[in-house]
Structure 1
Amino acid sequence: MNRNSTDFLIPMFPFTHYSDFNILIVNQTTPDNIIISNYITVKIINVFEKGLSKSRNLALDNVDSKLCVIVDDDVEFKEDFEKNILNTFNAEPDAALISFRVETKLGKLYKKYPEHRKIDLKATDRLNIMSIEMVLNKPVIDKYNIRFNEMFGLGAKFEMGEEAIFIDRLYKNKLKIVMEPKVIVTHENDTTHTKIDLSNKYYVQGALFTALYAGNYLLWVFLKILFELKQHKIKINQVHKAIRAAIDGRKDFLNIK
């Protein structure tokens, strides 16, 4: 957002110059703060609106590569990321999406990942894939006209959950989703998801689980609460507040929908 040069790409590719790769930047900005590209491999779209899912959809609509790596502007690519992506898609050419591992800046895995390549994903697997882990097979998702739900994601009514809804559409269309134990990027330890307060988080969860599971949404809210109690992320005296927020999120989602 609000960039006026491509300099932010330099630390993202510490092993080479970023112009060695085909890059599409969607810069959500103002008319006096735009980017102009100096490289034929780097395409810029300056837009004057907000919304993370809108940005990703615009990128997907304007890219012509077969494989698309979704990138935030604060990641750092590993030197062998391209080789790992190509090797995995060569082994799984019909995959619609392959998710890879992310490391922290300290060299530790960002979260718990499967030890081996995983194809039969559980619902909990599909719920926990982050956008910076995703590589998309664009001809496959284009065939099924799958894009991000613009009601979800930063800048939208519901600030999280866009990845889960996107992956759920792949799953419901019986498309292959793969988890691969190779690291492609490093990222800071904290994210927007960890910074959001409890009420807002469960407000979004209520909307998200309604979008995914309709009438069973409350069961998934309870499962989320139980998991976070076990992880000491919430306290028992916060459970009622979380449930109320989830119910409000569900109501607002249904009203907007």
Structure 2
Amino acid sequence: MKSLPKISVIIATLGDRITELKRLLETLENQTYTHFEVLFVLQQEQDVWSNILEGYNLNTRVVMMSGRGLSKARNLGLAHATGDIVTFSDDDCWYEPETFAHVVASMQTGKDVISLNMYDPNRKKFGRDQHIQAPKFLTKRELLSRSSIEIFVKRSCLDKNEAGPAILFDEAFGLGASHISGEENIFLVDLFQKGYRTYFHPEYPVYHAVQARITRLTRAQILSKGPLFRRMYNTPTAFVLVILFYVKKKQRNLFWEVLKATWTYRSRGEQ
């Protein structure tokens, strides 16, 4: 009899959202699918962690990290994960009791990478406009709209194999890095280019507060778009996407700055 796949839930946190964390832990404890581990990657030491985790019947481990950086923390979590499937929770997201069971059932039909659908049940808003109404494999361009907390991926896809090199989060992107956003999009595109496509389940939510639209893009996030596009695409395509993005977002005051950031960006392979 084939054993059930194990899920590794990687949570990179500063440990300063205790109320939200307890909500997450409660929804993990209530999962109908119970074969999973929870790895906390702490970017600063907290004395309260052992007391908090003792209150829950969960398989948990805490990994201490020196320095800061979301992508760096997730990569450290991957190095310690023992699951067949990995996902990247935030300490302020939460789940339905059947979420992990749905993911495993979908994976068992041959899916390699799955994206759920971020939804704020309090504001009754999705994390993005709902252009995709039915389950489907996402195109490369559609990967730009995914969030890291929605991703579940088979660990074997991340390892070096005949399909290509090992995949990790690009540590030049993400909170605490040179470019503060886009790390999950690069992660999914690297999987896509290795032959692993993301299957979107719009019917399965992962809950998270959705910010008001006016506050979603900061100046730093906007300036990260050029390097992000260049990391994901070839240089001519990146410049076309930058132009389209800034026309759509009406960010003409930052246009020349982002063109410069796009031109000067070099990936590790180009340096």
Q: Does 1:97 align with 2:120?
A: no
Paired residue type of 2:90: D
Q: Are 1:4 and 1:34, in contact at CA under 8 Å, matched by a contact in 2?
A: no
Q: Give the equivalent residue in structure 2 for 1:202.
A: 222
TM-score, normalised to structure 1's length? 0.83
| Percent sequence identity over aligned pairs | 21
What is the aligned residue count?
Answer: 243
1:247 pairs, out of 255, 259, 265, with 259
Q: Are 1:10 and 1:17, in contact at CA under 8 Å, matched by a contact in 2?
A: no
1:27 pairs, out of 8, 33, 42, with 42
Q: Going by fraction, where is helix more abundant, 1 or 2?
A: 1
Instruction: List alignment gaps of at least 5 residues for structure 1.
Output: 229-233
In 2: Cα distance, 1:147 partner to 1:70 partner: 12
Query: Secondary structure at 1:136's aligned position in 2?
Result: strand
Query: Secondary structure at 1:77's aligned position in 2?
Result: coil
How far has the Cα of 1:128 moved from its partner?
Answer: 1.1
2:153 pairs, out of 131, 136, 141, with 136
How far has the Cα of 1:211 moved from its partner?
Answer: 1.3
Q: Give the equivalent residue in structure 2 for 1:231.
A: none
Superposition pairs for residues 18-167 of structure 1, below 5 Å?
21-30=36-45, 33=47, 35-36=49-50, 38=54, 41-91=59-109, 93=110, 95-106=111-122, 107-113=124-130, 114-119=132-137, 121-143=138-160, 144-167=165-188
Report the CA distance shift for 1:192/1:14 in structure 2 as closer, same or farther (over 3 A): farther
Paired residue type of 1:243: F
TM-score, normalised to structure 2's length? 0.79
Instruction: List alignment gaps of at least 5 residues for structure 2.
Output: 1-12
Q: Are 1:105 and 1:189, in contact at CA under 8 Å, matched by a contact in 2?
A: no
**Residue by residue, what CA displacement relative to the aligned partner does 1:68-122 show, whole Å, maximum 9, x if unpaired?**
121001012112212221221122x2x3311011111324332234222212x22
Report the CA distance shift for 1:222/1:251 in structure 2 as closer, same or farther (over 3 A): closer
